Amino acid sequence: MRRLLALLITLSLAGCSFNPERKTQQLCPSCEIVRLATSTPTPVLGYLHNLGASADNPFLHVYLEGDGQPWLRGRWPATNPSSREMTALQLMQLDSNPSLYLNRPCYGYRQTPENCLSTLWTDGRYSAEVVATMAAALEEFGQKYPGKRLVLIGHSGGGTLVMLLAQRLENVAAVVTLAANLDHSAWTDTHGYLPLTRSLNPAEQPLLPESVIRWHLAGGKDLQVPAEIAEKVASRDPAARFILHPDFDHTCCWQQIWPELLQTLQHQLTGTK
């Protein structure tokens, strides 16, 4: 019992030592922090990037991060689940468009708020509650900056959430997922993980309207979310575009293609090419 208690204390201290607010500001020193969904029990932290650079740009790029670290050693819920890699934030740094880096409820804080339940990042990481809170955050943001159409961009589990958010929001122009878990039932079966019983599954949702562009990018060397999972989901959607990068894995090397991909996406959104 003493050894178990000592281990739990060590793991808790390890979780507390990471400060996602500081790391976010280090990676994006020009970002402006905002608090959104303030009327909900679990407000979310967002970071604005290049918002004043192009006032006449009708699009807002919204970046969502992956699941981070939901579990410690696969056995105990993490005290701070926030992403250490921040792949989506690094992509936003390469984006010259007005952008919002949107955390999930309870993510991104130096110290996780006391009212946060671990189900929000374990089996309920894609739950209706999480999706509703993030939708409320984007709707609140839209009231401050009206007229913007959303380009939802998600890495890993963030790709899962942008697909679910697109079901709820009316002003979505495009959805771009990278190394995304588009069918979490297939994902848990593949790895032998416990099922995400409290979570919504994009693979079980209705197809998005044809007016919404959707691109699904996957890495051929991704062992965390095998490309076959996204490819199978994309194959059921006639309007979806699946793009495989054979030499990429889960986090590498999306930055290499990002500026060119954004340019191609912009041409499609505006009909200029």
Token pair in block for residue 178: 């990278």
Range of the domain at 253: 2-270
Number of domains making up the chain: 1
Looking at residue 10, which CATH number applies to its domain? 3.40.50.1820
Query: Looking up tokens 């407000």, which residue turns up?
Result: 43
Mean pLDDT of the chain: 92
- Whole-prediction pTM: 0.92
The pLDDT tens digits for 7-17 are: 444 444 444 57
| Range in 9-23, 189-203, 251-265 the model is least confident about | 9-23
The total number of residues shown for the chain amounts to: 273
Q: pLDDT tens across 68-116, in order?
A: 999 987 778 999 999 999 999 999 999 999 999 999 999 999 999 988 9
Residue 18 — pLDDT band, cuts 50, 70, 90? Answer: confident
Please give the pLDDT value at position 17: 76
- Phi and psi at residue 123, to the nearest 5°: -75, -15
Q: What's the CA gap between 41 and 114, in Å, rounded?
A: 11
Rounded Cα distance between 16 and 18, Å, is 6
